[in-house]
Structure 1
Amino acid sequence: MKPDNVFIKNLRSGESFAVYPIIQTTGVLLQNFDPGAIPASFTAVKGVGQDGQTLQDVAMDPRFITIEAAIIGNQNNTIDDIKKQIDHIINPKDEILIRTLKNGEYREIDGYPDGTVQYSTDYKTSNDVLLSFKIEFQCFDPYFRDKNGDSIKIETWIPKFKLFTFKAGGIKMGVQGPKQIEIINDGDIDTPIEFLFYGPALNPKIILNGDKFIKINKQIVTGDLLYIYSDYENIKVEIQNGGVVTESGYGYIDIDSDFFLLEQGKNIISYSTEGDNIPQTVFIKYKNRYFVI
């Protein structure tokens, strides 16, 4: 089944165009969208005299996506004008965002054009009113992901106010909130996580299921943000202020840290800090990843 639409954007220039499966007066008509399959590579060893082999690892290879469409022109928008725009956007040296909409759900994937746009030379599909073309993409990260993802706030303080009394405790402006949260990963594969600690915090630590953890041996002062991204291929640890990176956090990573992913199914994520430092806010962000749209 074709998507309801496909949005294509050059991530360098920001230019984009969309294709639809319904004929329009002018624009680009989607004829076929092939999301491809993800090939798997197996690493196995064979012992002396062993029947068969012993599987050691399974790695997923890049995905190839093919989009077939047709430019439909009229007096206001000629085929040449639209073709020029598409050629400018589909640059094999640039990373391209491919976003699909199907049954009300958006999915995204990034890829590189596997060459320039292939245009038809058959007069039936290459004439004054119609020009068919094909674009092939190689997606090195082969998973589709949610468009917006989820952003979850762990409450570090729960608002509470009591009038002053002579009883023990006096005025209470707030109480400490829960330090853990349950997250369900409904995707087909484990997925990277973003953590945002708004200071103050001393040696903050994120724990997954009471076992794996990421710890940063650093004092985060009020006004600063500790940003952690757990992707194996693109790990980030940054100290930010006002949206600007002020310091790299790599040198503060605890030696026993494990930059874990959000596992499929139920996950319990908790955090801790040392001393009396309690972060203003802790956010967790992630995007589920899927085999298909």
Structure 2
Amino acid sequence: MSDIKVICTSDKNVALTFTWDGFTPFHLVDIEGIYGIESNVVTSENTTTDGSTYQGATAKERNIVLTVEMDGDYKENRNLLYRTFPIKRTGTMQYIEDGEAKTIDYEVENILPGATTGVVRDYTISLKCTDPYFKDLADIEVVMASWVSDFFFPACFPEEGVIFGHREAELVKEIENDSGADNIGIVVIFHADGAVKNPAIYHAESGEFTKVGYTENNFTMASGQYVIINTYTGKKNIYLLDGVTQAEIENHKNNYGVIDWDAVIERYGTVINEYLDEDGDFIQLQDGTNTLAYSADEGVNYLSISVYYRISYLGV
């Protein structure tokens, strides 16, 4: 099991690495709650019908329990545990096996000591994951429409002129989700290079759509504006970015070189949920093939569209 590594990082960026081999400064003895997933299945019974009727199901929260040991510097290492796992706070766990990493967010439930004497002393750390799914470390970006530069150095300027760029657009994109998980949120980025009226994105398999603006309450994007649709559970909102440059957005990249849209929204975003078409919904990815398409009532050719997502996993 020496190929397994667990890295826990607090919301204050204090991190600890646990491995099976050696003390660094802790030795990982055991880890529970990372394999598989449980659900709450709701059924109803009828006195005239055999068995029961299925009503629905939800995934249960995940409880991850780490058992770790230390063999020296006891007071210093205890304090390190308390800084890494402060109660009433959150953190992120990376689970790495055979070079493949997955991540999950958690809330600290407790830190309990085992043996308090002797050379080797152990602790049990209990973490609650209200979102029970493991995820990839970084978002995947799917570009549906964008402007591509055709200008290169060294440059020459013939009499017939120079094409500085062209627009590439695919009205339909397929995203494959073979993880077995449903209801995976996405972040949709609309960027306008001209006036765009009532932009929308559609999920073909479910027939659902998210549209910003409708007949009784039209919404028109001006050139340079961004509209961001976040469909993650607990974060479902529509935001407007006005007067924000691409360079300012690029300043908010994470450690993996991908734009951190949560940070961008927090800094620049204004909620515009009043323009959400009430006949629509916040679309999410489902298990299997997900066919996405976009449209606008006017100015669709002025749109650049990207979709960001992370596949959820039932276990590691």
TM over 0.5: yes
Distance 1:2 1:135, change over 3 A: farther
By how many angstroms is 1:138 displaced? 1.6
> 1:160-184 CA deviation, whole Å, 9 max, x = no partner?
699776xxxx979535522221111
Query: Could you say which residue in structure 2 is the equivalent of 1:216?
Result: 212
1:71–1:83 contact (8 Å) kept in structure 2: no
TM-score by length of 1: 0.85
Match 1:106 to one of 101, 106, 122: 101
Secondary structure at the counterpart of residue 268 of structure 2: strand
Determine the C-alpha separation between the residues in 2 that align with 1:71 and 1:59: 38
* Counterparts of residues 80-229 of structure 1 (less than 5 Å): 80-115=75-110, 117-121=111-115, 126-127=117-118, 129-157=119-147, 174-175=166-167, 177-190=169-182, 191-200=184-193, 201-209=196-204, 211-217=207-213, 218-229=219-230
2:149–2:164 contact (8 Å) kept in structure 1: no
Query: Could you say which residue in structure 1 is the equivalent of 2:29?
Result: 31
Match for 1:178: what amino acid? E
1:28–1:69 contact (8 Å) kept in structure 2: yes
Determine the C-alpha separation between the residues in 2 that align with 1:279 and 1:245: 22
By how many angstroms is 1:187 displaced? 1.8
Distance 1:286 1:3, change over 3 A: farther
Query: Could you say which residue in structure 2 is the equivalent of 1:283?
Result: 306
Determine the C-alpha separation between the residues in 2 that align with 1:160 and 1:273: 26
Determine the C-alpha separation between the residues in 1 that align with 2:222 and 2:74: 57
Sequence identity percentage? 19
1:55 aligns with 2:54: yes
Distance 1:8 1:237, change over 3 A: same
Output the aligned Cα RMSD: 2.6
1:2–1:33 contact (8 Å) kept in structure 2: no
Determine the C-alpha separation between the residues in 1 that align with 2:2 and 2:315: 12
* Counterparts of residues 16-27 of structure 1 (less than 5 Å): 16-24=15-23, 26-27=24-25
Determine the C-alpha separation between the residues in 2 that align with 1:21 and 1:68: 11
Q: Which runs of 5+ in 1 are unaligned?
A: none
Secondary structure at the counterpart of residue 298 of structure 2: coil
Determine the C-alpha separation between the residues in 2 that align with 1:277 and 1:163: 32
TM-score by length of 2: 0.79
2:88–2:109 contact (8 Å) kept in structure 1: no
* Counterparts of residues 258-273 of structure 1 (less than 5 Å): 258-273=281-296
Determine the C-alpha separation between the residues in 2 that align with 1:171 and 1:27: 59
Match for 2:186: what amino acid? I
Query: Could you say which residue in structure 2 is the equivalent of 1:6?
Result: 6
Number of equivalent positions: 279
By how many angstroms is 1:131 displaced? 2.1
Distance 1:173 1:32, change over 3 A: closer
1:4–1:20 contact (8 Å) kept in structure 2: yes
1:5–1:21 contact (8 Å) kept in structure 2: yes
Query: Could you say which residue in structure 2 is the equivalent of 1:66?
Result: 65
Match for 1:135: what amino acid? I
The structure where helix makes up a greater share of residues is 2
> 1:32-81 CA deviation, whole Å, 9 max, x = no partner?
111255332122122231111111111211111111111243xxxx2211
Query: Could you say which residue in structure 2 is the equivalent of 1:43?
Result: 42
- Indicate the larger mover: 33-42 or 264-273: 33-42
By how many angstroms is 1:238 displaced? 0.8
> 1:202-248 CA deviation, whole Å, 9 max, x = no partner?
21100112721100012222222211111243202111243433421
